[in-house]
Amino acid sequence: MLKKLCFIGFIFPALVSAGTNNIDYLNFESQSQFKEFAKDLTGALSVKTLEPAEPLGVSGFDIGISYNLSQFKYDHMDRVSNNGKSSLDTFTIHAVKGLPFGVDFGINYTKSPGSNIETWGGKLSYALIEGGALYPAIGISGNYAQTSGIDALKFNSYGAEVGVSKGFANFTPYAAVGMVNGETKPEELNLGLAGPNLKNESVSMAKFAVGVNINLLLMDVLVGYNQIGEVGTYSLKAGYRF
């Protein structure tokens, strides 16, 4: 299994070109412009929902690697980088373990290729209804993420959501709705007209996620979409759910 996951990890990066979205400095013309940037950052870097609501059980695991493409709404990456783009591509390593009483706990690591943007995150889920042949699974979850490796600013987010999923043969479609709060804190002096001291920005935004997990016997493939605020993210995940 480990060899196959490593193979997937090498194949996925070959599908896209290296990213160029470093966050190296702050050069904002106004505080409102920095707030718009904070909204984009929250939408792109917060934890994505890439698994069904059905609990794994005490012996279950969900392990995989996803490629994610987020489209910025306000496109202010040129305010923090010499090579900013209007979108952000990332890879995420996911690991979720089933626990007793319908609880799942997961961790993830996200990295943008060729960029200093990376995050660590976690998620705790509880199944209100575990699901069955005639009815769907319904669960609630909370998540947290924070950046590392960026000197110009610090970012973290946390959120909560309710999700539903229902298996049909090898297909398990799912959906979730919730809220996400993102906090962006400047760590360096601003170079733009907004003045040297930008204020921290805290933004709260709605989240909506849909997707389908497909069991191919030898592995699982998941196609998902997350909308956080006005930032949409398409994801393709490969791994094992058992």
Amino acid letter at 96?
V
Distance CA 100, CA 128 (A): 13
The tokens for 40 are 């984009």
Identify the CA nearest to 78 among candidates 112, 17, 29, 148. Answer: 29
Distance CA 11, CA 28 (A): 38
The full set of domains in the chain, from first to last, is 2-241 (2.40.128)
pLDDT tens readout for residues 102-154: 999 999 999 999 999 999 999 999 999 999 989 999 999 999 999 998 999 99
Q: Residue 133: its pLDDT value, please?
A: 87
Q: What is the mean pLDDT of residues 151-161?
A: 98
Average pLDDT for the chain = 93
End-to-end CA distance of the chain: 12
Distance CA 141, CA 133 (A): 23
> Model pTM?
0.90
pLDDT tens readout for residues 84-103: 899 999 999 999 999 999 99
| Owner of token pair 């993102």 | 182
Q: Residue 151: its pLDDT value, please?
A: 96
